[in-house]
């Protein structure tokens, strides 16, 4: 009898869930999308698909990475996504989006599935509310397909705008003027939560500092024409937050979760950035035909202590988390001055881009970009090491061909140049480095 009541209670509690799940086919629409991507190419340095900046040029001492080239072929940027549209709530439409690729979370795990986007939206005529466990940062919003294409074909090469960091965030966006004008405000956590192996979740100096704030104003219109989905667009965005540094007051060793000290000292440091970009269809398409169309875009930004969402090409492969007091992590990180105060280098970046359609499905994309850290001579002499970067520039030429809506073929050439913050102590190899990357990429969209 006791067993009967237990089973009956379990079935009773399950009835609402079973009845709701049974109606899922009529309440939710599911679309599957993504693409298969294959890369094949050659770098005249000892690099593979993705890298941050060129090695130093050889002089009397021959730098191995500069002396030899490398071939590569990969498919790990293949992406798979799901879009779900569900029932309305409070008069607003609802949807969710999930996407991953096979890039892995570190070089040793390439081929493993990695979360890229996971967010849900509530959509009204003039409002959108977004809850995102992971999606693209607001600061550095690109304008125009030319900029977006550079994030797909050349693999986060140095100098590409700010980057496409993905962070957890909650946003409210207001639309006006038939949704031509939008204003966004939200909060985000300035850290990478994908691939971390902490049992408690991600811990670093920016998660200790708390959520950051970001905002964006965007205007887009078809009044002077368009090229594909690209319209006249102007974007201004920015962010502000805090980083909290803590250290052993005796040894100056950085705080770690298992560290011990007689006394811990700490300091809160500002983190901020501003960015603007635009796109102009100089010669718009005509009746859906892009032949002869020309589009121009450009961006510029400035930042200080941007953390994870900053320009990855200046980190020189170093981690910004828990940098010890009195030492230097990279140009993107804060540091302690000799008088005990804290600061961080000011960073800036800019770049123009032009694309031309020779025929409706063949486009040439040309782009230049530059990222620089404003480092004082005293800073370079006393804090920077020979491995730290001060400036990175890039020129990209890319030709893309779309035989049909599913297939895209692209050829690209990247010329990259790196300026290191100081020469090596021996003077046997250069302060600069250059590299060329030649690539063929094939996409199949579905």
Per-residue pLDDT reduced to its tens digit, 269-285: 999 999 999 999 999 99
Domains of the chain, each with CATH number or no CATH: 33-445 (2.40.160.10)
**More confident: 117 or 142:** 117
Residue 103 has pLDDT above 50, yes or no: yes
CA distance 138 to 165: 9
**More confident: 310 or 320:** 310
Q: Give the pLDDT confidence score for residue 390 in this predicted structure.
A: 86
Residue 156 has pLDDT above 70, yes or no: no
Q: Give the pLDDT confidence score for residue 57 in this predicted structure.
A: 82
Q: Give the pLDDT confidence score for residue 86 in this predicted structure.
A: 94
Q: Give the pLDDT confidence score for residue 377 in this predicted structure.
A: 73
408 three-state secondary structure: strand
Q: Give the pLDDT confidence score for residue 344 in this predicted structure.
A: 87
Give the model's confidence band at 6: pLDDT under 50 very low, under 70 low, under 90 confident, else very high. very low
Residue 51 has pLDDT above 90, yes or no: no
Q: Give the pLDDT confidence score for residue 375 in this predicted structure.
A: 82
CA distance 383 to 379: 5
Q: Give the pLDDT confidence score for residue 271 in this predicted structure.
A: 96
Most trustworthy range by pLDDT among 52-61, 64-73, 262-271, 381-390:
262-271
Distances (CA, A) of 285 to 144, 154, 230, 397, 404: 14, 26, 10, 22, 18
Give the model's confidence band at 97: pLDDT under 50 very low, under 70 low, under 90 confident, else very high. very high
Q: For 355-360, what is the mean pLDDT? A: 97
Residue 386 has pLDDT above 90, yes or no: no
Q: For 236-248, what is the mean pLDDT? A: 95
Residue 359 has pLDDT above 90, yes or no: yes
Give the model's confidence band at 408: pLDDT under 50 very low, under 70 low, under 90 confident, else very high. very high
**More confident: 163 or 435:** 435
User: Is residue 151 within a helix (H) or strand (E), and if so which, with residue range?
Assistant: helix 145-152
Q: Give the pLDDT confidence score for residue 317 in this predicted structure.
A: 41
Q: Give the pLDDT confidence score for residue 150 in this predicted structure.
A: 66
CA distance 73 to 284: 36
**More confident: 158 or 306:** 306
Query: Per-residue pLDDT tens for 283-309?
Result: 999 999 999 999 999 999 999 999 889
CA distance 48 to 63: 17
Q: For 201-220, what is the mean pLDDT? A: 93
pLDDT > 70 fraction of the chain, expressed in percent and rounded: 81
Q: Give the pLDDT confidence score for residue 258 in this predicted structure.
A: 87
Query: Per-residue pLDDT tens for 329-344?
Result: 577 788 877 777 888 8
pLDDT > 90 fraction of the chain, expressed in percent and rounded: 53
Q: For 152-169, what is the mean pLDDT? A: 68
Distances (CA, A) of 427 to 59, 276, 353, 421, 422: 8, 40, 37, 14, 10
Beta strands in 178-319 (DSSP E): 181-188, 212-227, 230-248, 264-283, 294-304
Distances (CA, A) of 105 to 271, 376, 431: 26, 35, 31
How many CB atoms are closer than 10 A to CB 9? 10
State the DSSP string of 181-209.
EEEEEEEE--S--SS---TT---SHHHHH
Mean confidence (pLDDT) of the chain: 84
Residue 223 has pLDDT above 90, yes or no: yes
Q: Quote helix, strand, coil % in the chain, to nearest 5.
A: 15, 50, 35
Q: Give the pLDDT confidence score for residue 337 in this predicted structure.
A: 76
Q: b or e along 383-399 (b: 16 or more beta carbons within 10 Å of the residue's beta carbon)?
A: bbbeebbbbbbbebebe
Q: For 77-94, what is the mean pLDDT? A: 95
Residue 257 has pLDDT above 90, yes or no: no
Q: Give the pLDDT confidence score for residue 315 in this predicted structure.
A: 66
pTM exceeding the 0.75 threshold for the entire prediction: yes
Residue 423 has pLDDT above 80, yes or no: no
Q: Give the pLDDT confidence score for residue 49 in this predicted structure.
A: 66
Closest CA relative to residue 320, chosen from 190, 227, 217: 190
Q: Give the pLDDT confidence score for residue 53 in this predicted structure.
A: 77
């Amino acid at each position: 009898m006791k067993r009967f009541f237990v089973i009956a209670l379990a079935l009773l509690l399950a009835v609402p869930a079973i009845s709701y799940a049974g109606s899922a086919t009529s309440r939710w629409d599911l679309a599957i999308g993504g693409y298969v991507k294959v890369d094949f190419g050659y770098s005249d340095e000892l690099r593979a698909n993705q890298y941050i900046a060129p090695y130093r040029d050889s002089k009397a001492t021959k730098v191995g990475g500069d002396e030899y080239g490398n071939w590569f072929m990969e498919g790990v940027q293949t992406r798979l996504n799901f879009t779900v549209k569900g029932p309305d709530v409070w008069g607003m439409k609802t949807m969710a989006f999930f996407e991953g690729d096979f890039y892995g979370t570190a070089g040793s795990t390439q081929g493993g599935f990695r979360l890229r986007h996971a967010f849900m939206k509530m959509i009204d005529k003039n409002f959108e509310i977004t809850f995102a466990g992971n999606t693209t940062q607001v600061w550095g919003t690109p304008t125009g397909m030319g900029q977006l294409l550079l994030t797909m074909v050349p693999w986060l090469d140095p100098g590409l705008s700010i980057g496409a960091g993905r962070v957890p965030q909650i946003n409210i966006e207001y639309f006006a003027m038939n949704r031509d004008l939008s204003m966004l405000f939200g909060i985000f956590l300035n850290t990478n939560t994908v691939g971390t192996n902490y049992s408690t979740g991600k811990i670093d100096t920016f998660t200790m500092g708390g959520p950051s704030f970001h905002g964006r104003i965007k205007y887009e219109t078809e009044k002077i024409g368009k090229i594909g989905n690209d319209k006249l667009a102007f974007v201004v965005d920015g962010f502000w937050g805090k980083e909290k540094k803590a250290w052993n007051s005796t040894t100056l060793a950085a705080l770690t979760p298992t560290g011990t000290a007689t006394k811990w000292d700490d300091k809160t440091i500002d983190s901020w950035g501003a960015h603007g970009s635009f796109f102009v269809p100089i010669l718009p398409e005509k009746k859906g035909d892009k032949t002869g169309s020309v589009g121009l875009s450009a961006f510029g930004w400035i930042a200080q202590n941007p953390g994870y969402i900053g320009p990855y090409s200046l980190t020189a492969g170093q981690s910004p988390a828990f940098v010890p007091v009195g030492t230097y992590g990279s140009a993107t990180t804060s540091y302690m001055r000799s008088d005990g105060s804290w600061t961080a280098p000011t960073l800036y970046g800019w770049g123009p881009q032009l694309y031309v359609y020779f025929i409706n499905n063949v486009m040439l994309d040309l782009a230049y970009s530059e990222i620089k850290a404003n480092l004082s001579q005293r800073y370079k002499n006393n804090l920077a090491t020979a491995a730290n970067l001060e400036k990175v520039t890039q020129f990209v030429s890319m030709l893309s061909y779309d035989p049909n809506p599913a297939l895209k073929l692209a050829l690209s050439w990247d010329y990259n140049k790196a300026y290191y913050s100081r020469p090596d102590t021996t003077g046997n190899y250069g302060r600069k480095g250059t590299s060329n990357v030649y690539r063929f990429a094939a996409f199949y969209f579905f």
